[in-house]
């Protein structure tokens, strides 16, 4: 997947999450979502770290 498309999909997903009324989410589902969000955030941080360590010529 190309960079621009991947970042567009990530941005769209975040925008979607921002429109949700979290007060309407049942507690059990909210807990599941929080675990998944933290997992995805860790994956994103790993990709940031990979790119931070790259030395350019």
Total domains present in the chain: 1
- The verdict on residue 48 lying in a domain is yes
Report the SS3 class of residue 51: helix
How far apart CA 12 and CA 32 sit, in angstroms, is: 21
Give the three-class secondary structure for 53.
coil
**Is 18 part of a structural domain of the chain?**
no
Say what the pLDDT of residue 57 is.
72
User: What pLDDT is recorded for position 42?
Assistant: 97
Q: Residue 55: what pLDDT? A: 78
Q: Which domain holds residue 40?
A: 23-57
| Furthest CA-CA distance within the chain | 51
Tell me whether residue 43 is in a domain.
yes
Domain membership flag for residue 47: yes
Residue 52 lies in a domain: yes
Residue 36 lies in a domain: yes
Q: What's the whole-model pTM score?
A: 0.81
pLDDT at 30: 97
With a cut of 50, list the residues of the chain below it in pLDDT: none
């Amino acid at each position: 997947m190309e960079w621009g498309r991947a970042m567009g999909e990530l941005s769209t997903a975040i925008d979607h999450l921002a429109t949700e009324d979290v007060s309407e989410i049942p507690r059990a589902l909210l807990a599941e979502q929080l675990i998944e969000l933290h997992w995805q955030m860790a994956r994103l941080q790993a990709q940031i770290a990979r790119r931070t360590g790259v030395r350019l010529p």
